[in-house]
Amino acid sequence: MDHHRPGLPEDLPAPATLWARWALLAVLTAREEDEDLGIHRTGNWITEDTLHLDDCGTTRWWLTRSGEDRWVLYGEDEASRVKWHKPAIDMLAGAPDWLPYEDLRDLIEGYELGCVYWWENGAWARAPYPDTLDDDGLDCGMSRFSDQRGVFNEMISWELLDGTFDEAAAGPLLADAEQYRLTPERLEELVTATPERDWDLPAMLRALRRTGLSGQESVRA
């Protein structure tokens, strides 16, 4: 699915779907040696109630669940022109009071934020943009999670797909993730079926528990 430039709220899938697709990448790439890297970490990963994406150079994003039916997506892609726009664009204009304002303002002050989207009352929203803004980075940053093809392309980017674990095998896992029925047993079956792969099953299972993809309604709501 093509995104608009700059992005529109309707470009984004529902947050539970976005979370599931993103979280699956975090689960499959989880490794114990990465768990304590903090701000120096790259890839896709989960910490408490937040998913992270950092490709070590061009794009960095966060998706946080902030309560019942409340989510916030924020980040930066090198394609974003928001922080350089004149006159300045207030990325927090019209935002609800439950956003993580301290973190967001720190990023804004450091010229490290490209856009902010929030989900409340069943819909995504963002601050208004002037007609002179070309791009806020949402397309380059988040279109990878818009549909199944985008997720597969992301798996290829992180060298997850190959002859031992291809799209035919990844498809059912993605479907299970989107339905929040990805069980520990499914991951164990994957690891057993692909002994050539250097999976870290204990780390994958820890990430699975944190993401809630096995059926935690508190995440799916």
**93-111 tens-digit pLDDT:** 999 999 999 999 999 999 9
Question: Distance between CA atoms of 216 and 15, rounded to whole angstroms?
Answer: 15
What strands, in cross-sheet order, belong to the sheet with 71-77?
A: 43-47, 50-54, 59-65, 71-77, 115-120, 123-126
Residues 6+ apart with CB under 8 A from 207: 23, 26, 27, 30, 45, 46
pLDDT, position 150: 94
User: What are the backbone angles phi and psi of residue 212, rounded to the nearest 5°?
Assistant: 80, 15
pLDDT, position 221: 43
pLDDT above 80 for 155: yes
pLDDT above 60 for 90: yes
Give the pLDDT mean for 57-82.
92
Residue 202, SS3? helix
* pLDDT digit string, tens, across residues 43-58: 999 998 999 999 887 8
* pLDDT digit string, tens, across residues 4-43: 889 899 999 999 999 999 999 999 999 999 887 766 688 9
> Percentage of residues in the chain with pLDDT exceeding 90?
76
| Domain extent listing, the chain | 9-220
Question: Distance between CA atoms of 56 and 64, rounded to whole angstroms?
Answer: 20
Residues 6+ apart with CB under 8 A from 97: none
pLDDT, position 128: 97
pLDDT, position 57: 76
pLDDT above 70 for 148: yes
pLDDT above 50 for 200: yes
> Percentage of residues in the chain with pLDDT exceeding 70?
95
pLDDT above 50 for 191: yes
Computed over its alpha carbons, how large is the radius of gyration of the chain?
17
pLDDT, position 218: 45
Give the pLDDT mean for 140-166.
91
Question: Distance between CA atoms of 150 and 156, rounded to whole angstroms?
Answer: 10
Helix, strand and coil percent figures for the chain, each rounded to 5? 40, 15, 45
Q: What is the mean pLDDT of the chain?
A: 92
Per mean pLDDT, which range of 33-42, 63-72, 108-117, 162-171 is the poorest?
A: 33-42
User: What are the backbone angles phi and psi of residue 91, rounded to the nearest 5°?
Assistant: -70, -10
The confidence band for 1, taking pLDDT boundaries of 50, 70 and 90, is low
pLDDT, position 138: 94
